[in-house]
Structure 1
Amino acid sequence: MEIPVEFKKKFTGLLGEEEAGRLFSALMEPSKKAYRVNTLKDRTKVIYTLDNLVSGIPSAYYGEISGKDPEWVSGSVYSQDPAAMFPAHLTAVQPGDKVLDLCAAPGGKSTALAEKLEGEGLLVANEISPSRAKILRENLERWGVGNALVTSASPDKLSPVFPEFFDEILVDAPCSGEGMFRKSEDAVKYWSQENVELCAARQKEILTEAVKMLKPGGQLVYSTCTFSPEEDEEIVSWLMDQGFTVNPVNLTGVPHADGRPDWGNGDESLVNCARFWPQDGLGEGQFAASLTKPGTASDVAADDQFPVRKKKVKAKDRKKGRGASPERPSKEEVGYIEAALAGFAWPKAINFGRDLLKSNDHVFWPAIDPSAVAGVKILNNGLELGMLKKKRFEPSHQLAEWLGQVAQDKVVDLDEAGYERYLHGESVQVESALSGFVLVACRGMVFSFGKLAKGQLKNYYPKGLRQ
């Protein structure tokens, strides 16, 4: 890697020759790989070595995982840079909270936030890029998350829908990517001071909308994967000018550097920010700060103010069945659903007659009233149970991953050869007394549905995920 001359000059001036030299040397070293183990699922099934802990992050370990292993396919592990684990870790999320991950793809931070919620409350995971939002949805689905609303919208489209609504908001903002130099040639190639300044302006635009969605007294975690003060301490200083206070963070024993007041507005509370340098040996580069919005939660009754807006449907679309408001399944349809899903253990009780909605024959358990988010592009609202066909019901892949959180009896556990064939999309012959829809696992880790008849396991693994 050829580090840009302008970058070297800038950080030599900021850090001094000795520390800057350590940074430049570290950027020439291989990047560190790590993964998190999903606490929503049974971690005892994971056979990866769990002895090289990432300091400060529960259930996180150094090492490399394969996207073909049952651990990944079942959503039992997630590959993530160690330093990138800390923004979600620094949030104060508790079960039952309303949480927004505003710049969420590919989903590492969203999956960590979902773990903190433990299936309670609401996670809104947003990504403006449609292609990246699809990856975000797939990762949350694999993780077994059933209480997330996955959206693809610009922040200014979300803020009128969620005024002062969230208890915590995480903004891992798009940045100049200096902390990605070891992993991305493009980050090096396109670095410039001009781009740093453009990113800082964009970060302010994003945060301007984010703070509108945060309750008074709520927590904002702001993070970047870059080192430049313009995108870090200066942005936090800008938030302080709006009344935000910087919270102390507990990173005892974690290799990091405190924020630099002299790189911002000079306020001593900037030392409460955290910067993770490559030379400190934790992982790649990261900056994170926890802030509190002025006011108290009692200043606004967010639930009462949450707008419920009915989306108008054009006549031509109504005739074709498009754009209609979701409705409850009929009694007959509920019967098909219950018959197909009989015998499975549920992580959380669902009232099939009243809790479920259907839209274009897709049956789902909403994380939020669909009419409340009309006009926002939704990729997933809560838990999709499956699809109604002619006098029958087919369960979804998301439901299989969600059911994988708890012990199940209706499971076919494939050996390694059968597992590989199933991932390819093949049907598999098995010895089992079961029939009908069953969960499919390998080494006890559930990753799909299948349909069993006379020992023949019909493949229901999604075509887009087959390997």
Structure 2
Amino acid sequence: MSNFLPNALVRKLGVNPLFDQEAFLEAHENGLKLTSVRLNPYKPVDLDLKLSEAVPWCPEAYYLDERPKFTLDPLFHAGCYYVQEASSMFLAQIIKELGLDKDTVKALDLCAAPGGKSTLLNSVLSADSLLIANEIIKARANILEDNLMRWGLSNTIVTNNDPTAFRRLPGFFDLMVVDAPCSGSGMFRKDEDSIDEWSEANVKLCSERQRRILADVMPGLATHGYLIYSTCSYSEEENEQILDWLIDEYEFESVSIPIEESWGIEVTQSKKHEAKGYRFYPHKTRGEGFFVGVLRFKGIQPMFNIKKLKVEKSPVPIESLKHWIKDYQQFSTFVHHDFVHIFPKELEVYIKAAQQVLYLKNAGTMVGKWLGKELLPSHDLALSIHLSQDIPTTELNLKDAQNFLRKEPLDPSLFPENLKGWSLVNYKGQTLGWVKVLGNRVNNYYPKEIRIANL
């Protein structure tokens, strides 16, 4: 790929006297492809992957020496880890340094698909915090929903809304994460085809779109709330200049995040307000190109009146699910699109607020369809960390687990002779999904829309 990088981009980066153009070009020419994964702290297991060096700015994240075929690994489908680019995991360091991992917060991941930052927030924020993960594009929202379902937590809402919709929740969010659509220059090494789509005109268009997105969502940020803004672009117009624009337009102050010098992250300052930014270059860090800045809102925002909301009694009482949910007393239920969902009791009113003003793809944990006297359990419940441990389970070997993921019939001899009805199948102690044992046959209830076509 020698000399294929856009001259206009390299020339602008070279204005910085600290920029090592030769090393930057070499990092792209050598074709190195990095793979990193982040483990799910709620689903500890001995992985089949060969973990290498730890990602220094993110707990439970590791580089891999080689990239396996993740679709072959049942533990990937069980939500035991997420494949994520290492630079973007710096979000974990930010949350820790802001102390938000110790607070109860309401967080919005605005441009959330495919789900890397949302699953990270699920891991580092407290379990009694609320996360709304939003994606405006419907097809990508489906992927986001699937990835969060695998992660297994019930304190999460997945929405499919335009950023303007969040104006209807004024002053609601203590934390906003906006990983904005950008020109993508930071991904050139990972995706060479994206080079042909880059232009200075597209950078300008992206910068304008980023400002519109931020302006649309800004009323939803709480008084003294935090905005974490990021892109995978190297262009100053999409990064430091956006921080200056935010400070000009709104009452923000820049927040510094302590880092280790050995990490190779470059700390920058915007020209007008000296707002701190953090740049990741592939010749300096073990990751792809990335930019992030952190701002704190100093002004006073109008607040959404949560006290006006009335929580209606659910037609399916939580007691009816006690055989399916562990510690069921900690949860409330509500019915959404004919399916029963559970969510933490302390978040009940917040989910009601979201339900009134947003389009919800999913909320809490979808338990299943209530048929009057019995439950038709959902795949979400199978992967939930709140699933009862009293439900019968059968451990599968790798071959049988892969057959299950292909939605193939399983041999009845794999199951105990006296087992009848609903049962879970596991691999290495981690749940993969539901089967129904009916004597001489076993029905595989793995969802057909996510089955593995080629293994």
The TM-score normalised by the length of structure 1 is 0.85
Following TM superposition, by how much is the alpha carbon of 1:68 offset from its aligned partner in structure 2, in angstroms?
2.6
2:283 match: secondary structure: helix
Match of 1:329 among 309, 315, 338: 315
Tell me the equivalent position of 1:62.
63
Tell me whether 1:419 sits opposite 2:421 in the alignment.
no
Match of 2:88 among 84, 88, 93: 84
Following TM superposition, by how much is the alpha carbon of 1:3 offset from its aligned partner in structure 2, in angstroms?
1.4
Asked if 1 retains the 8 angstrom alpha-carbon contact of 2:57 and 2:89, the reply is no
Following TM superposition, by how much is the alpha carbon of 1:205 offset from its aligned partner in structure 2, in angstroms?
1.0
Tell me the equivalent position of 1:451.
436
Match of 1:128 among 100, 121, 136: 136
Asked if 1 retains the 8 angstrom alpha-carbon contact of 2:5 and 2:195, the reply is yes
Following TM superposition, by how much is the alpha carbon of 1:435 offset from its aligned partner in structure 2, in angstroms?
3.2
Deviations 1:1-22 (A, max 9, x none): 3212322332233457x71221
Tell me whether 1:362 sits opposite 2:339 in the alignment.
yes
Following TM superposition, by how much is the alpha carbon of 1:87 offset from its aligned partner in structure 2, in angstroms?
2.8
Tell me whether 1:258 sits opposite 2:267 in the alignment.
yes
Distance verdict in 2 for CA 1:435–1:191, change over 3 Å: same
Distance verdict in 2 for CA 1:306–1:149, change over 3 Å: farther
Deviations 1:33-87 (A, max 9, x none): 1000001222x33232334111221000001351231221100010011001113
Asked if 1 retains the 8 angstrom alpha-carbon contact of 2:166 and 2:219, the reply is no
Tell me the equivalent position of 1:397.
379
Distance verdict in 2 for CA 1:53–1:197, change over 3 Å: same
Following TM superposition, by how much is the alpha carbon of 1:257 offset from its aligned partner in structure 2, in angstroms?
0.4
Q: 1: distance between equivalents of 2:138 and 2:312? A: 23
Distance verdict in 2 for CA 1:348–1:237, change over 3 Å: farther
Following TM superposition, by how much is the alpha carbon of 1:96 offset from its aligned partner in structure 2, in angstroms?
2.7
Deviations 1:156-204 (A, max 9, x none): 1222x21010111101011111101112234211111111111111111
Sequence identity of aligned pairs in percent? Answer: 32
Tell me whether 1:203 sits opposite 2:204 in the alignment.
no
Tell me the equivalent position of 2:166.
158
Tell me the equivalent position of 1:41.
43
1:140 match: secondary structure: helix
Asked if 1 retains the 8 angstrom alpha-carbon contact of 2:92 and 2:124, the reply is no
Q: Which runs of 5 or more residues in structure 1 are unaligned?
A: 310-324
1:96 match: secondary structure: coil
Tell me the equivalent position of 1:25.
26
Match of 2:79 among 70, 75, 82: 75
Tell me the equivalent position of 2:244.
237
Q: State the AA in 2 paired with 1:49.
A: K
Deviations 1:242-268 (A, max 9, x none): 22111111221422101144xx21x44
Tell me the equivalent position of 2:415.
431
Asked if 2 retains the 8 angstrom alpha-carbon contact of 1:175 and 1:231, the reply is yes
Distance verdict in 2 for CA 1:100–1:306, change over 3 Å: farther
Q: 2: distance between equivalents of 1:203 and 1:237? A: 13
Asked if 1 retains the 8 angstrom alpha-carbon contact of 2:325 and 2:386, the reply is no
2:400 match: secondary structure: helix
Following TM superposition, by how much is the alpha carbon of 1:149 offset from its aligned partner in structure 2, in angstroms?
1.2
Match of 1:175 among 172, 182, 202: 182
Q: 1: distance between equivalents of 2:21 and 2:237? A: 18
Tell me the equivalent position of 2:254.
246
Following TM superposition, by how much is the alpha carbon of 1:121 offset from its aligned partner in structure 2, in angstroms?
2.3
Q: 2: distance between equivalents of 1:150 and 1:192? A: 33
Tell me the equivalent position of 2:360.
378
Q: State the AA in 1 paired with 2:315.
A: P
Tell me whether 1:277 sits opposite 2:286 in the alignment.
no
Greater Cα shift, 226-235 or 7-16: 7-16
Cα RMSD (Å): 2.6
